[in-house]
A = this chain, B = another copy of it.
């Protein structure tokens, strides 16, 4: 099936949608106030993963709120009107559940993987966090220190640094170019009021998607979600449109017209380098061709980068290409970690492989192999409840459609060598940035 997820008129409950694949049953309900609930029941599974996806990320922050989305993610675990931080921690630990959260550029997800019998508890606690966080001032000050340590840890990881700096170099002043977690300066500066405003403004029925997969019953889950949110004081009957972020600001506002060459000095042994440019928006039709391009160029042990840079020349332990797509905009890059003395040679090799792809395209054998690779990976990647839960959440928030596995396979198999070549020509012609982190002079 393909669902082009319908936007639901204000005040009208969404029609339930049901579909099946691979023995699993997928259902979707939209509550009148705009909350969307999606489930995928996987036969035989004794566990389930549930995630509350809030459609807000670092791109939605305004000046004075930078870092608020991630700060808020931490603070939701620090206590609600009904629960202390310890209560929340104990609830999940007592049943051996994995509970965590992740902040992205366009969404924030609170999730837990638990035995199916513990799912009502997980929904209750997460619903409480989403609706009723206290954002206590003392807890907030303590957590500020924790977040500064998290940023310091990330800053000590040269791989993290090169990716963050690459994103900033390519996207410039565009809101997607900002670091997700803010900077030490913005985290030190952000006042409680700003975080509170951010919470009240963005955490509301029309931005919330609850997705669950595994041993889950749809109707029961809809009931549990309704109870948890209503219990937290949310009015689920207030008519509102689910927010569609695909209509966000024009894609190129703030994106630099020229590539950037940036060197970040760190006293480390390895140089980390990324060469790249803007890429494709998440919903771009060419994203399937991009998957093939990425697989051939730097997506596995048989890829060109791995073979050329690691296998034939022994210059790197890690080298790959990557693409990251958001609403209206994306990035695309080639990475390697190598000896500082070899960084120019490795940078040249990365560039040469990108340009060779644009000049000569890919072989039929590479096309066939990459399609096999993507198809196998797609099926293997959907065996656990966590990845199925994520697929539901992203279908709703990022893609606006849910493709069945069969349809995804079909789109991958429809990619031609010409599609890949054309895309490579496009990507290779864009303003190109080079970001290096390592023991270099300034």
Contact = CB atoms under 8 A, between A and B. Distances in A.
Interface stretch (A64-72, A304-312, A413-421): A304-312
A268 interface: yes
A90 interface: yes
A357 interface: no
Contacts of A310: 146
A267 interface: yes
20 contacts: A45-B383, A46-B379, A47-B380, A85-B311, A88-B301, A89-B311, A90-B302, A93-B295, A93-B300, A93-B302, A93-B373, A99-B301, A114-B380, A141-B314, A147-B317, A149-B270, A149-B316, A153-B270, A157-B157, A267-B267
A302 B95 CA distance: 12
A375 B316 contact: no
The 6 closest A-B pairs by CB, nearest first: A96-B376, A145-B314, A89-B301, A142-B314, A96-B377, A89-B302
A353 interface: no
Interface in A391-415: none
A19 interface: no
A338 B145 CA distance: 10
Interface of A: 23, 43-47, 77-78, 85-86, 88-90, 92-99, 113-115, 118, 141-150, 152-153, 155-158, 266-270, 295, 300-303, 306-307, 310-318, 337-339, 368-370, 372-380, 383-384
Contacts of A146: 310, 314, 316-317
Nearest to A318: B153
A282 to B, nearest CB: 22
A423 to B, nearest CB: 20
A339 B384 contact: no
Given A46-B383, A90-B302, A383-B384, 10 more contacts: A86-B311, A92-B300, A94-B368, A97-B380, A142-B313, A146-B316, A149-B316, A153-B337, A156-B268, A157-B157
Nearest to A437: B156
A47 B337 contact: no
A402 to B, nearest CB: 21
A270 B375 CA distance: 42
Nearest to A78: B311
A372 B149 contact: no
Contacts of A267: 266-267
A327 to B, nearest CB: 28
B152 A369 contact: no
A115 to B, nearest CB: 6
Nearest to A144: B314
Contacts of A370: 93
A93 B376 CA distance: 9
A270 B156 CA distance: 7
Given A99-B301, A302-B86, A376 B114 contact: yes
